[in-house]
Structure 1
Amino acid sequence: MIDWAAMTGVLADVLSREGLWDVVDERVRGGEVFRNKDFPLSPVPVLIDHGAATEYAAAVEKYVQLLNKIIRLYVAEDSVRRWYGLTAEEEALVLADQRLGGEVAVCRLDGYLEQGTERPVLLENNADAPAGTLFTARINHLVRGLLADLGARAHWSPLTYAEDTALLSTLRACARRAGAPEPGHIAILQPTGAANRESVETVEVLRRAGVEAFLADPRDARLVGKRVFFGDKPADACWNKVNTATWRTLLAEDPATVHRLLDIVTDAEFVHVNPFGARYVAESKLSLALPREPEFAHLFTDDDRALVESLLPWGRRLTPRATAENGASLADDLVENQAAYVLKEAYDIRGDGVTIGRAVSRSSWLAAVARGLDEGHLVQRHVAPAAYPTVRRDGPRVVAMPISLDTYLFNGRVAGFGSKASLNARVNVFQGGQKLAVHVGAVADAR
């Protein structure tokens, strides 16, 4: 997957440049905002082979189709709804919000390149309000400009995420699917006082494109006739940028908002992206286990199962009756083989609901297993990530850091890739990590 030959050439070009960090600093100062949280910038992108990226993109596009199938199953099957265990209010929102069929319009599929094989493995579906829809394109362009400044070789193709208006294009496409006019007024939903840099910058990008865009608190939504307003501002569509974990807390504390939202998704001439089916069902980490659950085997085809086996690590929902791959009790195997597993809450933010067996104490692990049994968390086989060289300003000039490979999709089509790097167990920017540019080589770069 990684184009190591191209990487070594770019790394050599970068390291041979005198005054490297002066060039980096000048480019960053003169560029656009590209990070929600400050982190060190490595001038060497993750370089991905074009052929491997193309093959992987086709597979993950099929996987998003499977996520949409799971949303449809949630709507159609009482047993599936019971299995997810959403609250009555959450279930009502999913069932009512069907203008787009509840489907995933914008998502980031987070994964690793498996250590030793570089096989891409999907670990999580970010199908609610994924970060990076703007900043991933910006860091890719920033590093591309840096490489030009440094005289380094460039590797770039249409599979490199480069479009900073991808979200706007998607919102417009969603409006067309819903039979609505092109949205002239778009709300970016964030709790008052909690908007991150990317949301603020997204508003500015939309405004430059001629859209009346604004930040809005979802609790301020109201329906006037068929029109949605946030305060006194009308909206034709919204990008609901509130993470589902935070969203659940907001609505639990404000039941009146639930009723207003139900009226909006039922009656308004309004496009809600991502719909609640994506936010509550596809986003749930339990969706990573559903196709493997024996009681739901009849709902999935052999092709569905083959796709899951090719892309996902082994995973099951933790219950007293669940079995491990070897047929033994899953709960017992978790206790006996702590280092082999990861436990995940259905919804979390910034990796706070993820417990990695080999990274925690025995007592912490046993507590997580007990909590997972009680709440029905996801169990996944641990996947060790491949490492990639990052260039540093201080200490060792080059450090090999475990990385993620994250795929961005809009209306089911791959727009490109992003990456995070960290020396911590959780490869997350908010857990001490950093973002890396990801450049996919052109066909002519293939060797």
Structure 2
Amino acid sequence: MTIATIPAISEADVRIERRLCELATCDSASIWEAQDELSSAIAEAGMHFEGRAYPVCLRPLAIDRGLANHLSATAEAVIKLLDVAAELYCYNEDVQDLFPAYKHFRHWITSLPKYRPLVTICRLDGLFGSDGYYKIIETNTEAPGGVIQNGLAAKIWRRIPNPLTHGLSLDVSKQPFAKDPNCFVRELVSAYHAASGSELKTAAVVNFRGRYTNEVDFIINGLKDAGIKAKLLDIGEVKLTYAGLVDKNDECIDLVYNKLDPRDVIDTYDADDYLEACATQRVVSINPWISQCVLSDKAILALLSDDRFSSNFNAEQIQLIARHIPWTRLVRDEVTTDPQRRRIELISYIQKNKTDLVLKPSNATRGEHVLVGRLTCSELWEEHIDRAARHPYVVQEYVAPGELTALHLSSRSIKKMAYGIDCYVFGGRLAGFQSRASLDPVMNVGRSGILLPIAFD
């Protein structure tokens, strides 16, 4: 695969940016009228983010097809890297030491299914680095949001009259999940057949104590529309029997889709039957538990970016890692190498170079406790370095986000915002894109971020 730097901004996006700024000064009412129509249509379609409005912005991010193809090839190649990383975790103790939180149920997560890729559904979150390459800063291989709603939102956005894109020929439908939002459900059905050789008859979305209900209704209804008996279950409602995994009514379950936080499972004994069923393939789990835990943990980027493990990857994969995986390390008192491959004392390096670094809990979600060094006071930075001794953190090189003008929905204002581009991959193939934008340097919909539809120029 030839990998080259590609500009992140298209000519169409420059025109959209200019038009938004012009209308903001002379006719902002027309923008907000169209935005309100879009927001109402999104709400009427039943889309939400954990009960709150699904924050889809009228302003799209327009990218050209060259960039779309580049991102697609990069994302699909990274999924193959994760297969190698999973195998490494199963037998390499140095790799296992990067993921201390999962030590006591390692025997469950190292029982790998035979199918590949291991990661059936994921979203790779990224930014463009100063070197022009797309940088993947999180892997999201557990149960990422937006797998159905973003496709539906793109279709709704396309039909709303939009003063920002008047005269432009933009296409959202080339993305598989925008062309057909049911492609997510079809991938679940296909993955089950690939794993079992049988037709899927029963399925469950599994969560924990009512947390993470986003999109669950769309997933269950999509499965039912495909002729599959589907339901939402709590992880404590299932048990393992001689017949397989069953619910409280002793009805067998063929496939489970995990919509939960693995940290909750780590701290409970209610999940033993469930974990055993997944590990022994008595039920097909999408994604398997090594994806839920290890491959989704931010320390996976420490594995990929550390030269200690590079001999496990081929030359093309090493080039891919060098260009698209930012320098990352598990925070601990050790000697390692910095982004220029110079030997360093890691803790001292983090203390002295906070302007160029980001600290993140290794397995937290939705931007929890993420600190951008250049925006953090020294006292708080030191506090989080100490915290890392008790709660695993990673340190990552800072990748500055791009900036664009967008509609900040909660404040009903037009602002310069940071943005990134995320890639959805289903069954090893690109399914679509999303762009998140935020006033907060940590871009997350749960932190007042917004979603920009991705359109091809």
TM-score by length of 2: 0.86
Pairing 1:210-359 to 2, within 5 Å after superposition: 210-232=227-249, 233-248=251-266, 252-254=267-269, 256-266=270-280, 268=282, 270-323=283-336, 324-325=338-339, 326-359=342-375
Structure 2 counterpart of 1:5: 11
CA deviation digits over 1:143-189, x for unaligned, max 9? Answer: 21224698733411523641311221211121122133221221111
SS in 2 for 1:235: coil
Structure 2 counterpart of 1:198: 215
- Is 1:123 the counterpart of 2:140? The answer is no
Q: Is the 8 A contact 2:435 2:453 kept in 1?
A: yes
**Which ranges of 4 or more aligned residues in structure 1 deviate by more than 6 Å?**
148-151, 393-396
Structure 1 counterpart of 2:154: 140
- 2: distance between equivalents of 1:52 and 1:45? 15
| Cα pair distance change 1:399/1:375, threshold 3 Å | closer
- Is 1:159 the counterpart of 2:144? The answer is no
Q: Is the 8 A contact 1:316 1:322 kept in 2?
A: no
Bigger shift: residues 163-172 or 189-198: 189-198
Structure 2 counterpart of 1:382: 398
Q: Is the 8 A contact 1:90 1:280 kept in 2?
A: no
Shift of 1:302: 3.0
Structure 2 counterpart of 1:422: 438
- 1: distance between equivalents of 2:128 and 2:177? 18
Shift of 1:44: 1.3
SS in 1 for 2:344: coil
Q: Is the 8 A contact 2:239 2:246 kept in 1?
A: yes
| Cα pair distance change 1:388/1:228, threshold 3 Å | same
- 1: distance between equivalents of 2:131 and 2:413? 26
Shift of 1:353: 4.0
Pairing 1:356-435 to 2, within 5 Å after superposition: 356-373=372-389, 375=391, 377-391=393-407, 398-435=414-451
- 2: distance between equivalents of 1:288 and 1:331? 18
Q: Which amino acid aligns with 1:284?
A: D
Q: CA RMSD in A?
A: 2.7
Q: Which amino acid aligns with 1:207?
A: K
Correspondence for 2:67 among 46, 52, 56: 52
Structure 2 counterpart of 1:180: 197
Q: Which amino acid aligns with 2:11?
A: A
| Cα pair distance change 1:264/1:402, threshold 3 Å | closer
Q: Is the 8 A contact 2:278 2:285 kept in 1?
A: no
Q: Is the 8 A contact 1:102 1:276 kept in 2?
A: no
Shift of 1:13: 6.8
Q: Is the 8 A contact 2:240 2:273 kept in 1?
A: no
Q: Which amino acid aligns with 2:255?
A: A
- 2: distance between equivalents of 1:18 and 1:363? 45
| Cα pair distance change 1:415/1:260, threshold 3 Å | closer
- 2: distance between equivalents of 1:329 and 1:3? 38
- 2: distance between equivalents of 1:88 and 1:7? 47
Give the gaps of 5 or more residues in structure 2.
Answer: 1-6
- Is 1:80 the counterpart of 2:95? The answer is yes
- 2: distance between equivalents of 1:45 and 1:18? 18
- 2: distance between equivalents of 1:54 and 1:2? 12
User: Which structure shows the higher helix fraction?
Assistant: 1
Give the gaps of 5 or more residues in structure 1.
Answer: 442-447
Structure 1 counterpart of 2:36: 25
Identity of aligned residues (%): 23
